[in-house]
Amino acid sequence: MEWWHYTLHPEPTPDTLYDVPVTAPDGTDRESEIQRLVQPYDGDVPGVSLLVLKDGKAVLSRGYGRSDLTRGTEAGPATDYRLASVTKQFTAAAILLLAQDGKLSIDDPVRRWLPSLPQVADGITLHNLLDHTSGVLNYEDLMPEPYAGQISDAGVLALLEKENRLYFPPGSKYRYSNSGYALLALVAERASGMSFADYVRTRIFQPLGMRNTLAYVAGGPQVPHRAWGYSKSCDGWTRTDQNAYSAVLGDGGIYSNIADMARWDAALYDDRLLGDASRALAFGHQAQVSDTPEATYYGFGWRVAGDRLWHSGESIGFRNTIVRWPKQHLTVVVLSNRNDPTPYDLAVSIGRLFMEGTQ
């Protein structure tokens, strides 16, 4: 910052020099650019909660727009959103914790835990489910239309029990699979002796102080400060909060807010939850997803490319992203209660504003 020195007269202390800045403080351009980027979410529209963590501190934590259009409730740091597939990093962590505790091995055959699966699943391991190389069929494609009510993780298993076929031999290819993560939630239940919702609450959320995060089950604890999902329509915005897939927990059923996601991010830098070996697996190059425009891999619940880790989540009425640059000790979380746009590009653009060497 540039400084000029002025001597002011008349003055009781004429020898005193005053430092007066002649350039705007750092951050002004950044703040105006953030405001421009989030402008579509601002006002009386479905909103967004935005978190930027730098060197372990929240340098930006606020909401824009509305979490509930009917009541006019403003979005904020405490607003809870359905994470959709951002849930997968918690499901993967549950399995890794059970492995740390000696309750299972990630190399276990899935049929050790879910023996009702057909014989074609003999070659599938938990590792294959974690990195999407299992070849299991998409449960969404197996559901009758229209589907009465909502399918659960156990319902996913029931559909797969009837299908003695896979997309490809286990371990031979990558194909993103919601079915695989629904099965992992059931494995976590069998190995822990607890419901998935109870296990992630007692083993992950409570130890980390994530008091407003939960795997939501109808009839169970309510989601605090709940954001309702919306979709754009010709008349404005229509509430589209749930569909037939929304009760599946392992692939997308966790609700959280940016305040709790800050606690989650902090735990990913040390061994307060996952040990070094478990974090190396979660963030490792387990399966190659693509080689263009850059080499991209899937770990366990995380996408990996270059110096960043991320995962997005999309379900009816919600679009979310977490992007981490561990070497920069920088994380951006964007949670929104609308069907459009996907906020990955927004998160990356905001992250670049806080990169070392930039203003």
Task: Summarize pLDDT for 312-348 with one digit per residue, the tens.
Answer: 999 999 999 999 999 999 999 999 999 999 999 999 9
**Residue 263 is encoded by which pair of tokens?**
């606690």
* Dihedral sign of CA atoms 36, 38, 41, 42 in order: negative
Which pLDDT belongs to residue 225? 98
Report the alpha-carbon distance of residue 226 to residue 78 in Å, rounded: 9
Sign of the Cα torsion 22, 27, 29, 32 reads negative
Looking at 85, 192, 278, 312, which residue is catalytic? 85
DSSP three-state, residue 294: coil
pLDDT digits (tens, 9 = 90+) for 247-290: 999 999 999 999 999 999 999 999 999 999 999 999 999 999 99
pTM: 0.91
Alpha helices by DSSP H, the chain: 28-38, 88-100, 110-113, 126-130, 139-142, 153-161, 178-192, 196-200, 206-208, 258-267, 276-282, 344-353
Domains of the chain, CATH where assigned: 28-353 (3.40.710.10)
85 is catalytic: yes
Whether 23 shows a pLDDT value over 70: the answer reads no
